[in-house]
Amino acid sequence: TLKMGNNNGKTVDPVEAEKEESSPPSQQEEEEEEEEEQGLHEDKHFETVMRVQIHSINNITRKTDAFSDVDPFVEIRANSVLLGATKPKLNKKTAAIEEAFYIKTAADPRSIKLTFHLKDQDHMSNDDLLGHGYFDLGEEDATTEQKVHLKWKGTEIGSIVVSVDFQKVVVI
């Protein structure tokens, strides 16, 4: 049989060498290679992150300013923990928002109640509360693009459209 030399001074059968080079890697080898590429290790664990996305503010009927339209923004709370607030939209009764807020949570999703406070940004004094609404994840089957009705003293003053989802993220 024909043999060829390699860098280590050993002789190698070219047919066997070709077989070794062309044989597909095992599933374990593929997984190890993929983990190395992604920087994942055995000590990884997962955390749950809740994402609350405000899509829009719709049909605000309540005004707090005598000479201008409202400058609406939404404050978001999860079980009374402030997640954040959207950027104010100047002189709008209806506005596309598309802002998302994230929070790490170990709580059962069904135990989370979201509260939304629609406010009017004021430049000279404190912001005015226009209305509020609730989204109880324990009572909802669907959490994508849901309309939340906002009320002020029992009267509907508009709505917002929201989506809520949970994602598992790797923590290294």
DSSP-based three-state secondary structure for 128:
strand
Measured over the CA atoms of residue 59, residue 64, residue 68 and residue 74, the dihedral's sign is negative
Q: Quickly list H helices, the chain.
A: 14-22, 27-38
Please report which confidence band the pLDDT of residue 11 belongs to, taking 50, 70 and 90 as the band edges. Answer: very low
Q: pLDDT for 61-112, tens place per residue? A: 998 777 778 899 999 999 999 999 999 999 899 999 999 999 998 888 889 9
Cβ density class 70-93: b for 16+ within 10 Å, e for less: bbbbbbbbbeeeebebbebbeeeb
Task: Specify the pLDDT at position 12.
Answer: 45
Q: pLDDT for 22-64, tens place per residue? A: 556 666 666 656 555 555 556 678 889 999 999 999 999 998 7
Q: pLDDT for 120-140, tens place per residue? A: 998 777 899 999 999 999 998
If one compares 11 and 102, the residue with the highest pLDDT of the two is 102
What is the rounded distance in angstroms from the CA atom of residue 71 to the CA atom of residue 50?
27
pLDDT of 118 > 90? The answer is yes
Q: How many CB atoms lie within 10 A of CB 96?
A: 13
Phi, psi of 36, deg, nearest 5: -60, -40
pLDDT of 156 > 60? The answer is yes
Task: Specify the pLDDT at position 46.
Answer: 87
Contacts of 130 (CB under 8 A, 6+ apart): 60, 62, 64, 70, 72, 118, 119, 120, 150, 152, 157, 158
Please report, for residues 39, 83, 109, 170, the alpha-carbon distance to residue 104 in angstroms, rounded to integers and kept in the order given.
22, 11, 12, 12
Amino acid at 61: T
Q: Which two tokens stand for residue 3?
A: 């043999």
User: Is the full-model pTM beyond 0.95?
Assistant: no
